[in-house]
Amino acid sequence: MSAGTIDPPAAAAGAAVAAVDVVPPTRWIEGQPSLHRITTDIARPMEAKPGRGWYICFGIAVLALLNLLGMVTYLFAKGIGIWGLNNAVGWAFDITNFVFWIGIGHAGTLISAILLLFRQKWRTSINRSAEAMTIFAVMCAGLFPLIHMGRPWDCFFIFPYFPNQRGPLWVNFRSPLVWDVFAISTYFTISLVFWYLGMIPDLATLRDRAVGGIKKLVFRILSLGWNGSNRTWSRYEIVCLVLAALATPLVLSVHSIVSTDFATSLLPGWHATIFPPYFVAGAIYSGFGMVLTLLLITRQTMNLERYITLNHLEAMAKVILLTGSLVSYAYATEFFNAWYSGNLYERYHFINRATGPYAWCFYLMVLCNVLTPQVFWWKRARRSIPILFVASILINIGMWFERFVIIVVSLHRAFLPSGWGMFYPTVFDVGILIGVFGLFFTLFLLFIRALPMIAMWEIKGVSHG
Amino acid sequence: MADRSRFLVGSFSEPGPLLASVVNLRRAGVAIHDVFAPYPVHGLDQAMGLRRSRLPWITLLAGLTGLCFALAFQYYTAVFDWPLDVGGKPENSTLAFVPICFELTVLIGGLGTAGAFLLRARLFPGKREQLPVLGVTDNVFAVVTPAPIDGNDGELARRIMIENGADEVEEREAES
């Protein structure tokens, strides 16, 4: 065959190859920002004065935080009788809030650890803020066991310690509540270490940008003398992978253990073997809801649309659709198992859940957690900022109510009717619920002002590597 | 006071020329002191001939330590020191000890790895950074070779760096 003539079948094959080749890979960064531009864009929120939007949000968050401080002080002075708890419902908003906040944290670890192991490049724009969210959410969660103790100054009793002043009496290691103490302490510590280690190269970048004074000093201390040596990078990447490999089963274990707080009891509505995977899916679902809420606000107010693109938001919407569907499946399984068990109390509990005095909570939960994520089957919805924002808020509400339904509805009519009761939240229940959002948002707003909310070095690697 | 040595520093604005320089320098027999980059450059470890870090072994050791400690501690407290009858469960409820064993494996394994990394990389709070060129944590890549006493060898390293696209090559003094 002479040069210049092309065999028709070969041409067709070539066209097929070309057709495959023209599908472009997803671009996770818009445009082609230079390395310096990436540094400048991400450092800008920390170096420039914040806008009015930040001050308004911060003001509201600090007011809510002050409300929390006031209410918790009053709680310590008076005791937990100021909450709406009674003999039937001994756990209510406190443990609901605890499980809710622990769940929120899960998205951060999923994004930073599991997606790292799966080499999902889209995590790079959102991992830092999601990890920060994890740490703040676990701090919020940790508050509730503490304030529910009645004697919070004795909180160290939950840890085994030396010298053991209780004589040889130790905590009961067979109890899921003790497992919880270890799981959440480990989770917080490992998340903090992962977050901080991941930030060291960026802290060094900020140190080298700081012109002097206290800012340079602080960044110098925090960046530990990092200088970008490739020998260090080489070890650093291994350490990140190892920590991700450790954090991956950890994140699955934490909410599994939280779920055993309930599942190992005999209470109808709690006593279910599906709880661990159900709680983990719910945790990731709620966490992604919160990440979405936070990122939609910050990308808009901090002008980071170039780095947190619609492609990122779409990827998150897909995770929400998956985990939301898993949660819906778990809801259905609970009902099926109650019917199939033939157990009177189990059956009554689920009839009561759907038709009893708290049925509105159940239907609100179904609306938010079963129906809302289904909108993400449509690509247009996954890429629409207003729909994503409304859905993320509904998910947050729905997941709080899910925990409320599991906890309060199960407790209020368990077994004998003589032990039944209703839970009505007092102003202190609601005030502390609002206040803890104040704590969370105060910490998050300070974080986006003080530390790089996007991992510069990872973005550089994705866009130029 | 630490010894001070002279180094030849080639700075680059792109990772491609940096990689080519490293490969060609090594091929020419020039020892490479270190390479600096604002992000981990793909393929640089192989180009420098770096061995894969052995830090995961520390993770294994630390994790096993955590596991053994958790198992031994729970067994000691629940079986020897103060056996408690909880719902008629056996004193040595090994399965119930699993969650805490797992958590401590992860905790000690993770902390051990992070600590070993900081020690090995000699990173500690307050350490004064030693940058070969300004901007190496922002947008500059740099190759550092020991400055040879022999002028001809120095010229060779300088020429390879420039031929491969170095923006600037200069001799600097630093703590070795």
**pLDDT band for position B89 (cuts 50, 70, 90):** confident
**How close is the nearest chain B Cα to the Cα of A399, in Å?**
26
CA B35 to chain centre: 13
Chain A residues touching B33 at Cβ < 8 A = none
Interface test with B, best of A41, A161, A174, A260 (most B CBs within 10 A): A174
Tokens of A99: 């499980």
Helix (H, G, I), strand (E, B) or coil at B1: coil
- CB of A97 closer than 8 Å to CB of A425: no
Task: Give me the amino acid identity at A438.
Answer: G
Hey, are the CB atoms on B138 and A247 less than 8 Å from each other? no
CA A446 to chain centre: 18
Maximum average pLDDT range among A238-247, B89-98, B124-133: A238-247
Q: Is B59 on the interface with A (CB under 8 A)?
A: yes
CA A148 to chain centre: 23
Rounded-to-integer distance, Cα B45 and Cα B51, Å:
8
From B39, B97, B125, residue closest to A173, measured CB to CB = B97
How does DSSP assign A319-357, residue by residue?
A: HHHHHHHHHHHHHHHHHHHHHHH--HHHHHHHHHHHHST
Rounded to whole angstroms, what are the CA distances from A45 to A125, A129, A237, B38? 15, 13, 27, 20
pLDDT at A410: 94
Chain A residue with CA closest to B50: the answer is A231
pLDDT for B20-34, tens place per residue? 899 988 888 888 888
Helix (H, G, I), strand (E, B) or coil at B35: strand
Hey, are the CB atoms on A230 and B139 less than 8 Å from each other? no
Question: What share of chain B in percent tops pLDDT 90?
Answer: 34
Task: Give me the amino acid identity at A134.
Answer: T
Rounded-to-integer distance, Cα B18 and Cα B13, Å:
8
Chain B residues touching A461 at Cβ < 8 A = 39-40
Tokens of B101: 């064993």
Hey, are the CB atoms on B44 and A460 less than 8 Å from each other? no
pLDDT at A4: 41
Cis amide prior to A357 (ω within 30 degrees): no
Rounded-to-integer distance, Cα A450 and Cα A114, Å:
27
Rounded-to-integer distance, Cα A204 and Cα A207, Å:
5
Q: Is B27 on the interface with A (CB under 8 A)?
A: no
Rounded-to-integer distance, Cα A397 and Cα A195, Å:
27
CA A449 to chain centre: 20
Hey, are the CB atoms on B123 and A225 less than 8 Å from each other? yes
Q: Which residues of B65-87 are buried (b: 16+ CB within 10 A; e: fewer)?
A: ebbeebbebbbebbeeeeeeeee
Chain A residues touching B127 at Cβ < 8 A = 224-225
- CB of A276 closer than 8 Å to CB of A256: yes
Q: What are phi and psi of A91, to 5 degrees?
A: -130, 130
- CB of B59 closer than 8 Å to CB of B113: yes
Residue B35 pairs in a beta bridge with B143
Hey, are the CB atoms on A458 and B50 less than 8 Å from each other? no
Q: Is B104 on the interface with A (CB under 8 A)?
A: yes
- CB of A160 closer than 8 Å to CB of B77: yes
Rounded-to-integer distance, Cα A185 and Cα A391, Å:
31
Chain A residues touching B93 at Cβ < 8 A = 173-174
From A39, A225, A230, residue closest to B44, measured CB to CB = A230
pLDDT for A343-367, tens place per residue? 999 999 999 999 999 999 999 999 9
Task: Give me the amino acid identity at A9.
Answer: P
From B52, B63, B96, residue closest to A174, measured CB to CB = B96
pLDDT at A354: 94
Rounded-to-integer distance, Cα B168 and Cα A182, Å:
54
Helix (H, G, I), strand (E, B) or coil at A439: helix
**pLDDT band for position B7 (cuts 50, 70, 90):** confident
Chain B residues touching A43 at Cβ < 8 A = none
pLDDT at A11: 46
pLDDT at A372: 95
**How close is the nearest chain B Cα to the Cα of A451, in Å?**
16
pLDDT at A250: 92
pLDDT at A22: 66
Rounded-to-integer distance, Cα A109 and Cα A128, Å:
10
Identify the weakest region by mean pLDDT among B1-5, B104-108, B153-157. B1-5
Helices (H), strands (E): how many in chain A? 18, 0
Task: Identify which of A314, A154, A352, A235 has the alpha carbon closest to the alpha carbon of residue B114.
Answer: A235
- CB of B140 closer than 8 Å to CB of B134: yes
Task: Identify which of B131, B122, B128, B129 has the alpha carbon closest to the alpha carbon of residue B172.
Answer: B131
**How close is the nearest chain B Cα to the Cα of A242, in Å?**
7
Report residues of chain A scoring pLDDT below 70: 1-25, 162-168
Query: In chain B, what's the furthest Cα-to-Cα distance?
Result: 83
Q: What is the DSSP letter of B36?
A: E
Query: In chain A, what's the furthest Cα-to-Cα distance?
Result: 97
Rounded to whole angstroms, what are the CA distances from A2 to A6, A210, A241, A271, B76? 9, 66, 54, 78, 85
Task: Identify which of B60, B89, B94 has the alpha carbon closest to the alpha carbon of residue B74.
Answer: B94
Q: What is the DSSP letter of B84?
A: -
Q: State the CB neighbour count (10 A cutoff) for residue A447.
A: 17
Task: Identify which of A38, A94, A33 has the alpha carbon closest to the alpha carbon of residue A428.
Answer: A94
Chain A residues touching B121 at Cβ < 8 A = 229, 231-232, 235-236
Hey, are the CB atoms on A229 and B138 less than 8 Å from each other? no
Q: What are phi and psi of A171, to 5 degrees?
A: -65, 155
Interface test with A, best of B52, B69, B85, B139 (most A CBs within 10 A): B139
From A209, A221, A234, residue closest to B125, measured CB to CB = A221
pLDDT for A208-250, tens place per residue? 888 878 988 999 999 999 999 999 999 999 999 999 999 989 9
Q: Which residues of A125-136 are buried (b: 16+ CB within 10 A; e: fewer)?
A: bbbbbbbbbbbb
pLDDT at B98 over 90: yes
**How close is the nearest chain B Cα to the Cα of A459, in Å?**
9
pLDDT at A121: 80
Rounded-to-integer distance, Cα B172 and Cα A247, Å:
42
From B45, B111, B137, residue closest to A204, measured CB to CB = B137
pLDDT at A263: 93
Rounded to whole angstroms, what are the CA distances from A5 to A9, A10, A12? 12, 11, 14
From B56, B63, B78, residue closest to A238, measured CB to CB = B56
Rounded-to-integer distance, Cα B149 and Cα B172, Å:
14
Hey, are the CB atoms on A461 and B40 less than 8 Å from each other? yes
Predicted TM-score of the model (pTM): 0.90
**How close is the nearest chain A Cα to the Cα of B141, in Å?**
9
Residue B174 pairs in a beta bridge with B5
**How close is the nearest chain A Cα to the Cα of B76, in Å?**
10
**pLDDT band for position B97 (cuts 50, 70, 90):** very high
Hey, are the CB atoms on A230 and B106 less than 8 Å from each other? no
pLDDT at A5: 41
Q: What is the DSSP letter of A3?
A: T
Chain B residues touching A458 at Cβ < 8 A = 39
Chain B residue with CA closest to A232: the answer is B121
